Amino acid sequence: MNSSLVLAIVTFVYGFSAVLYISSAVFKKDGPAALGSRVAWIAVFGNVLGFILRWIESYKIGYGHIPLSNLYESLVFFALSIAVVCLALEWKYATRYINTVAMPLAFLTMAYASLKAKAGGGEIQPLIPALKSNWLTVHVITCFLGYAGFAVAFGISVLYLGKRFFGVDGKDRSDRGDFELLDELTQQTVMFGFLFLSLGIITGSVWANSAWGSYWSWDPKETWSLITWFVYAIFLHLRYVRGWDGTKIAVVSIIGFIAVMITYFGVNYLPGGLHSYGKV
Amino acid sequence: MSETANNGTVFDRIWAFFASVKLSVVVLVLLALTSVLGTLIPQNQTAMYYHQNYGEALIRIFELFQLFDMYHSWWFRFLIMILAMNITICSLERLPRVLSIVRKKPALDAEKFRRHKNRVDLTMEGPAAGQRDRITAIISKKFGKTSVVDTETGFAVFSERGRATRLGVYVVHLSILALILGSLVGSLFGYEGFVNIPEGETVDRIKLRNSDTTVPLGFQVRCDDFDVSHYDNGAPKEYRSDLVIIEDGQATVKKRIVVNDPLRHKGVNFFQSSFGTIPGQNLTLSFTSKASGMSYEKKIKADQPVELEEGLGTFVLQGYLPSYPFMGQDLGESYVGTISVNGKEPEEVILPLHFAKFDKMRKGAVSVEIVNFDSSHYTGLQVTKDPGVYLVYAGFILMIAGCYIAFFMAHQNLCVEVVKTGDHSCAVMVSGSANKNRMGMGMIVKKIASHIGNA
């Protein structure tokens, strides 16, 4: 049993879970999502298992590093983070339909990772000297928890707009108003993402300062993470101070997630930068 | 606020301008949008790079707006300054009101709580007075410190927590000011440069990045050894340099640095950043006499004269040059030596590494050729000094603490009012309010109501 096989299977499990969540919305029944949620737990378990196996394998090869060092590995961790944030929200707010869009994002992420693996990006590689630091672990984990918070916020915002304008619906057993709940959860997940994005930028800064003596160097990925931070800072001010909600705030959340995607993927197409190991 | 501003003094108007959250949003949008430009136009490249990639007109426009180093341009700094003033004045404008709330004791008034949305009503059996200790105990355990007030119809239990968390957002604002100030201190009193030190050599100055200026360190640095190791697949595994700090002729600090583990001394940081090889000072040269055709090899050390055979003079190796201009051409890396025949002016001998037979062209009595030479490494160090970094780190800590307080803690008020409805029954209202995350407060109210209800 190796990590590649486990993670390939996990992709399908996430896929199955995504189908169930979407079925709930399409057929307006709570049953499929309830099953989908259990399936997602299994996928998360497999995802963690694959992660640990890959870690062990890297030690067996003799490279010995946590699997957070290239695009494939980051996607595997990103999928895990999204699914965990989704399940945590379900557990806290006792409702499943909020993840109709967000949970399938975990599947899409894993599917993309599988494509990368097929194209040869799944090999375990040695760490380049610049990445050999304990800061790697804490920097990548905080960044991706931040990204995951924003991804789930994006999913909830899309669901909000879908409900508002296209009548997409799931059966909500909670006695709270659906729109109010989605609106509130968009804000909650954005705040979670913002805290972790800040932590991610800060740990990256401290690492950069300890590794090459400069905590900020306007590298494209750094700059885009700051742009993302600006967008969500705007979100928070519009929300708290100017009282934006509903459709308007959902749109800002979606714009924020576009910035996240550029920070994650788009930057690799721009010239230069210290984060070149993330090449697509 | 804006209505009074128009009638006020100039100062009032300026204050009102900077106290607006609209301005914050506009400045943040501008910062986000303009920051994109710097990621599309590569920053701080050579003039040649820009000429290869952009037309003349575009270059002139970009230069006008300092887009080739836009994050240090006047207008970007101006935007950041506006943001700093905006944050400061916004916070000063709102802080007194928030502080007065934080200082004020809450009014223990059940009437106010009856209007809240987060409210659960229960009816319970048994006399109202019997519930008093139980409800107080539940709230103390599940929520916080309680105050009990007797009413005409029963009693009310109040509890409050997190009043000071209202200040969280100002902690975040303070953190951003610390970051901006820290970066300002860094750019005024710090520097970023580099230095290459050959093994065994000592330096006391470094060169600034993107400039020709050198800066004295205030002490000396020697590189005793440099080494690079590789993985089996040939990828570099580790670069390391053994550095020694020398002050007043004494070696005071020794450290082996690798990437991610620098040497820090008196606020100056030395980071392993690159390496290279340079030819050393030990050579084997071959000499050929023009007259006799005799050819022989000799080992040469810098500055140590070597007698040539047949009394054709003395050879001295003067040193190594990374480039040698010769009749408008660059010969590249070259050793330079002299041959002096007693009494006469010494004749210069150029030994380019890439043109072995070059010295034949001199048509001297002896022609010289390099047989081999030793080479040694030099270590490439990034050298930085940034006295603002402590402020920046303080800002980091404040930001995380502030964000956590602002996002995940709230000022919450709880009231449980028990009203006697008969000798053996009473009505209980559980109601709560919070300055944010009202849905979360609603869940707390429900939880406490269910604890009270489970008699």
A279 pLDDT band (50/70/90 cuts)?
very low
Per-residue pLDDT, B1: 44
B413 has pLDDT over 90: yes
Per-residue pLDDT, B7: 62
Quote the minimal CA–CA distance from B380 to chain A in Å: 12
Comparing CB atoms, the residue among B237, B382, B407 nearest residue A191 is: B407
Which three-class secondary structure state does DSSP give residue B81? helix
Nearest-angstrom CA–CA distance, A165 and B259: 54
Per-residue pLDDT, A273: 53
Which chain A residues touch B394 with a CB distance below 8 Å?
A: none
Per-residue pLDDT, A169: 61
Cβ distance A99 to A21 under 8 Å?
Answer: yes
Distances, alpha carbon B281 to alpha carbons B300, B313, B379, in Å: 8, 21, 17
Average pLDDT, chain B: 89
String of DSSP letters for B147-170: EEEE-SSEEEEEEEE-GGGGGHHH
What single-letter amino acid sits at B369? E
Residues 6+ apart with CB under 8 A from B272: B239, B240, B241, B257, B258, B259, B262, B379, B380, B381, B382
Residues 6+ apart with CB under 8 A from B351: B285, B334, B335, B336, B337, B358, B359, B368, B369, B370
Per-residue pLDDT, A172: 47
Judge if B127 and B157 occupy the same domain: yes
Nearest-angstrom CA–CA distance, B368 and A155: 76
ipTM above 0.90, yes or no: yes
A277 pLDDT band (50/70/90 cuts)?
very low
- Does residue B395 lie in a domain region? no
B114 pLDDT band (50/70/90 cuts)?
confident
Identify each DSSP E strand in B58-134 by its residue range: 119-125
Q: A155: exposed, middle or buried (C-beta count within 10 Å: 0-12, 13-18, 19+)?
A: buried
Comparing CB atoms, the residue among A126, A206, A234 nearest residue B25 is: A234
Comparing CB atoms, the residue among A188, A218, A231 nearest residue B71 is: A218
B200 pLDDT band (50/70/90 cuts)?
confident
CB atoms near residue B299 (< 10 Å): 11
Judge if B88 and B42 occupy the same domain: yes
B249-298: pLDDT as tens digits = 899 999 999 887 889 999 899 988 888 888 878 889 999 998 888 999 99
Per-residue pLDDT, A174: 42
Facing residues of B418 across strands? B155, B428
Number of domains, chain B: 4
- Does residue B233 lie in a domain region? yes
Those of residues 132-171 in A touching chain B at CB distance below 8 A are: 132-133
Which three-class secondary structure state does DSSP give residue A207? helix
- Does residue B29 lie in a domain region? yes
B344-360: pLDDT as tens digits = 888 899 999 888 889 98
Q: A98: exposed, middle or buried (C-beta count within 10 Å: 0-12, 13-18, 19+)?
A: buried
Judge if B297 and B328 occupy the same domain: yes
Judge if B88 and B141 occupy the same domain: no
Judge if B112 and B95 occupy the same domain: no
A177 pLDDT band (50/70/90 cuts)?
low
Per-residue pLDDT, A187: 94
Judge if B217 and B244 occupy the same domain: yes
Where along chain A do its domains lie?
A: 1-127, 128-280
B28-50: pLDDT as tens digits = 999 999 999 999 998 888 888 89
Lowest-pLDDT range of A163-177, A180-194, A230-244: A163-177
Q: In angstroms, what is the C-alpha Rg of chain B?
A: 39
A167 has pLDDT over 80: no
A88-129: pLDDT as tens digits = 999 998 888 889 999 999 999 999 999 988 887 778 888 877
B184 has pLDDT over 80: yes
B54-92: pLDDT as tens digits = 989 999 999 999 999 999 999 999 999 999 999 999 999
Nearest-angstrom CA–CA distance, B39 and A219: 8
Judge if B21 and B49 occupy the same domain: yes
Quote the minimal CA–CA distance from B396 to chain A in Å: 6
B132 pLDDT band (50/70/90 cuts)?
confident
Judge if B289 and B267 occupy the same domain: no
Phi, psi of B125 (to 5 degrees): -90, 160
Which chain A residues touch B21 with a CB distance below 8 Å?
A: 237, 241-242
Which residue did the predictor score with more confidence, B404 or A274?
B404
The residue-averaged pLDDT of B209-221 equals 87
Judge if B307 and B333 occupy the same domain: yes
Per-residue pLDDT, A271: 64
Q: Is the dihedral of CA B115, B121, B127, B130 positive or negative?
A: negative
A276 has pLDDT over 60: no
A22-41: pLDDT as tens digits = 998 888 888 899 999 999 99
Phi, psi of B305 (to 5 degrees): -60, 140
Those of residues 39-98 in A touching chain B at CB distance below 8 A are: 63
H helix intervals, B104-211: 110-113, 132-142, 168-189
B336 has pLDDT over 60: yes
B5 has pLDDT over 50: no
The residue-averaged pLDDT of A243-247 equals 90
Cβ distance B158 to B415 under 8 Å?
Answer: yes
CB atoms near residue B69 (< 10 Å): 16
Per-residue pLDDT, B331: 86
Burial B142-155 (b: 16+ CB within 10 A, else e): ebeebebeeeeebb
Per-residue pLDDT, A17: 96
Which domain does B430 fall in, by range? 105-162+410-454
Closest residue on chain A to B173 (Cα) = A233
Comparing CB atoms, the residue among B31, B271, B436 nearest residue A211 is: B271
Per-residue pLDDT, A56: 94
Interface residue of A215, A222, A249, A263 to substitute, partner B, most B CBs within 10 Å:
A215
Judge if B337 and B363 occupy the same domain: yes
Beta strands at B202-208 and B191-198: parallel, antiparallel or unpaired = antiparallel
Comparing CB atoms, the residue among A195, A238, A241 nearest residue B403 is: A195
pTM: 0.83
Nearest-angstrom CA–CA distance, B350 and B285: 12
B232 has pLDDT over 90: no
Distances, alpha carbon A130 to alpha carbons A134, B67, B222, B402, in Å: 11, 29, 24, 31
> What's the CATH code, domain A1-127?
1.20.120
- Does residue B176 lie in a domain region? no
Quote the minimal CA–CA distance from B34 to chain A in Å: 9
